[in-house]
Amino acid sequence: MAILKIARMGHPALLAPAKPVENPAAPEIQRLLADMAETLDDAGGVGLAAPQVHVGLRLFIYKVPASRAGEDAGQVPLTAVINPVLTPLGDNMSMDWEGCLSIPGLRAAVPRFDRLHLAALDAAGQRGFWLRGPRHSARGGPSGWHFIHHAPKRFPLFRLHRRNPAFRLPPSQNHEGQP
Domain membership flag for residue 4? no
Longest Cα–Cα distance of the chain, Å, equals 49
CATH of the domain at 85: 3.90.45.10
Q: What's the whole-number mean pLDDT along residues 29-53?
A: 95
Domain holding 162, by residue range, is 12-173
Any domain includes 57? yes
Provide the 8-state DSSP code for 134: B
Q: Say if 3 falls within a structural domain.
A: no
- Considering its fold, how many domains does the chain have in total? 1
Confidence check: pLDDT of 56 > 60: yes
In a domain, 22, yes or no: yes
pTM: 0.76
pLDDT of 74 > 70? The answer is: no
pLDDT in tens, 122-178: 999 998 766 555 444 333 444 455 655 555 545 444 444 444 444 444 444 443 433
